[in-house]
Amino acid sequence: MSVSFNLTIFALYQYTKITDTMKLLLISNSTNPGEGYLEYPMPYIQDFLGEKAMNALFIPYAAVTFSFDEYEEKVNARFNEIGHHVTGIHRFINPVEAVEHADAIVVGGGNTWQLVDMLWEKGLMKAIRKRVKTGTPYIGWSAGSNIACPTLKTTNDMPITEPIKFKTLKLVPFQINPHYLDHHPANHGGETREMRINEFIEVNREVYVVGLREGSLLLREGDELSLLGNRPARLFKYGQEPKELTTEDDLSFLLA
């Protein structure tokens, strides 16, 4: 048996060992109409984190029109209800060290461009990726789900700032479009969400895009991926008709 073959087998073993430990809960939106903040995803978050009290590291960098302290307080009000707690990363002198010692990582929604800009500026993108790939649970909603993908290019947000890179965490190999909408308002002459995603896959032909409707979540446990919530997701791929995915479908093929 050749040395190169042995190295290939070892690399595959290491990859499998890493991906088997990954735990992600990727949420489309924080709040459904008529509900409280983080109300609908909280039972899923509780199941995901378990019963043992956990102090998760919260990343509030996507907040633009309110403070990081306010964001931390708002999230804590919900997490405390299920016996967990979050501490904002902005409270740490060394944010990279905070990531390296985190029991879980929670990334809130807001403006994806600002979030990505600050993560690169503070040297956190690689630190978070490394930590999550070795088993640290990751929860994100909206922008926090978007950055779990290879790039921020399928965000809906206005580019209010310019990050040094568009690359993000690549915790999943496909793209997510949070808050995916089918609706095209009357007398609206602009593009639909589907048209914008079709532009993306025209240029990025090998990439799947999951249109994650509000009220929906994706759960990754190792090499298994499933859809949670009460609404289907819409799957886009160049050269293929869009497909509706339900909670009955096995989405693990998207991780290949």
Q: Establish if 120 belongs to a structural domain.
A: yes
- pLDDT of 43 reads 96
Question: Does residue 83 lie within any of the structural domains?
Answer: yes
pTM of the model: 0.91
- In this predicted structure, the answer to whether residue 10 has a pLDDT above a threshold of 50 is no
Using DSSP, state whether 206 is helix, strand or coil: coil
pLDDT, position 177: 98
Confirm whether 199 is domain-assigned.
no
pLDDT band of residue 183 (cuts 50, 70, 90) is confident
Residues 109-136: b if buried by 16+ CB within 10 A, e if exposed = bbbbbbbbbbbbebebbebbbebbbeeb
Q: Could you identify the residue written with the tokens 């019963």? A: 51
Question: Is 201 contained in some domain?
Answer: no
* Within a domain: 192: no
198-204's contacts with Cβ under 8 Å and 24+ in sequence apart are: 198/236, 200/153, 200/154, 200/175, 201/236, 201/237, 201/238, 202/238, 204/153, 204/175, 204/238
pLDDT in tens, 12-23: 444 444 456 899
- Whether pLDDT at 8 is above 90: no
Q: State how many domains the chain has.
A: 1
In a domain, 164, yes or no: yes
Where residue 126 sits, what CATH number does that domain have?
A: 3.40.50.880
Q: Which residues are catalytic?
A: 142, 157, 179
Residue 99 lies in a domain: yes
Residue pLDDT, tens place only, 136-174: 999 999 999 999 999 999 999 999 999 999 999 999 999
For residue 123, give its domain range.
21-181+213-231+248-255
Instruction: Answer whether residue 156 is part of any domain.
Output: yes
